[in-house]
Amino acid sequence: MKKISFAVLLILMFSISIAVSAVQASSQTQPKAIVISSLNKMIPMGYYAQLTIHYLKHAGYNVTYLTDDSVTVSFLLNHLNDYNVVIWRTNTFTWAHEEYWYVGEKTNAVTEQKYASDFAAGLLNDHTGVIGFSTAFAFNHFSANTLSHVKLLVFISSDGNALAPQFVTAGVSSVIFCNGPISLQFGLLDDLTSQLTAYLSMGETVYSAVYDTVSPFSNNTPRDPLDTNYPPPFWFVGNGALTIA
């Protein structure tokens, strides 16, 4: 009877060991997503960040949420490619007739020294107190295959169309972006971004998710003659058939 019990115990221990190994292997292969809000203290993402993260987790992603000072130049250049899905919410400022996209990191001597040549050439700018990068910076640093691990980048910012093709050149399979000037105020774009993420998390293609997000607004008739239709400024470049779930 003792021999039988010992054998059963060995089987149970072996089964548990296999189950634990399977869980560990699964966690190692779990896809990764990141939600970046570069201007969160100034214009909080609030509830929409939680909603967007919820949808990504529902789709099976291990999600990181990064805001403000935590979004550094070094992180973008060295760790953005660690993620399969990137949702990046930022905006632009203009200095000396050059457009810059906010990184999130505040002005500091360490970064100024580390990237002194980029600051000297005007590729990086911190005159607003928050570091920004130019189109030329993206062209120089996000070269071919530097973002080849990123399947989808959702870039929520003014004039995202100026950077989207370069992100594809860098290896991103598909980039959803905003055309022209946008505002992060009032939460409208955050609401649309969370809705877009919901469609993607349910297995829709990039094309379908963008179309389903935009089309209800395109068909609306203004309630007042003085009102105008609001067409959400979303579009994409790259693989429209891409799915993330």
Q: What is the pLDDT of residue 222?
A: 54
- Give tens-digit pLDDT for 87-117: 999 999 999 999 999 999 999 999 999 999 9
Mean pLDDT of 203-224: 83
Q: pLDDT digits over 68-85, tens only?
A: 999 999 999 999 999 999
Categorise residue 152: left if φ over 0, alpha if ψ from -120 to 50, beta otherwise. Answer: beta
Q: How far apart are CA 147 and CA 156, in angstroms?
A: 18
Residues contacting residue 148 through CB under 8 Å, at least 6 positions apart: 81, 170, 171
Query: Which residue segments constitute the domains of the chain, with CATH numbers given?
Result: 30-91+142-238 (3.40.50.720)
Query: Could you count the other beta carbons within 10 Å of the beta carbon of residue 72?
Result: 20
